[in-house]
Amino acid sequence: MTDLTLRADEEISAVIEPLKHLPGALLPILHALQDRFGHVPKEAVPVVAKALNLSRAEVHGTISYYHHFRDEPAGRHVVQLCRAEACQAVGADALWAHAEGCKGEFTLEPVYCLGQCAIGPSMLIDEEIHAKVTPAKFDQLTAALRGAK
Ligand code: FES
């Protein structure tokens, strides 16, 4: 085991320890790990499973079930597209398919309602909301990210 792995393991344990005795500790632990590392590192799965006496599959299943959790570091920008019903009715599925085909310096994530249902499809780029997003508008907005920090 390298020093780096050892340090990561220690940091993972330091996040888990104070929370593991809470009732329903899995979600608070996953949130805390993502807050600390920006994602839930795959190395954390066996450590969490052991601490909570769960199987690795159960921990992994929870991470996959909740769209909020990511298992790898996010890109420099996070683009969240609304996939809920009202936005779906005005083209969010086609927009999602378009977005998935786009390469860029961003991580694409689904969200389920951004409270802007009347002016969908809705999208967040790094917490900034955009409405009535078409594929062309998506291209324009994400192209602007290239020069942005
Ligand atoms: S359904 Fe998309 S913002 Fe509400």
Model pLDDT for residues 15-37, shown as the tens digit of each residue: 999 999 999 999 999 999 999 99
| Ligand 1 near 51 CB (within 6 A) | no
pLDDT at 148 over 90: no
Mean pLDDT of 78-104: 92
Record the tokens describing residue 44, joined without a space: 């954390």
| Ligand 1 near 120 CB (within 6 A) | yes
Position in ligand 1 atom list of the atom nearest CA 113 = 4
Share above pLDDT 70 across residues of the chain, in percent, rounded to a whole number: 93
pLDDT at 74 over 70: yes
**Residue in 40, 110, 106, 107 with CA at minimum distance from that of residue 72:** 40
Average pLDDT of the chain is: 90
**The residue type at 75:** G
Model pLDDT for residues 113-132, shown as the tens digit of each residue: 999 999 999 999 988 999 99
- How far apart, in whole angstroms, are the C-alpha atoms of residue 48 and residue 58? 10
- How far apart, in whole angstroms, are the C-alpha atoms of residue 62 and residue 21? 18
Position in ligand 1 atom list of the atom nearest CA 82 = 2
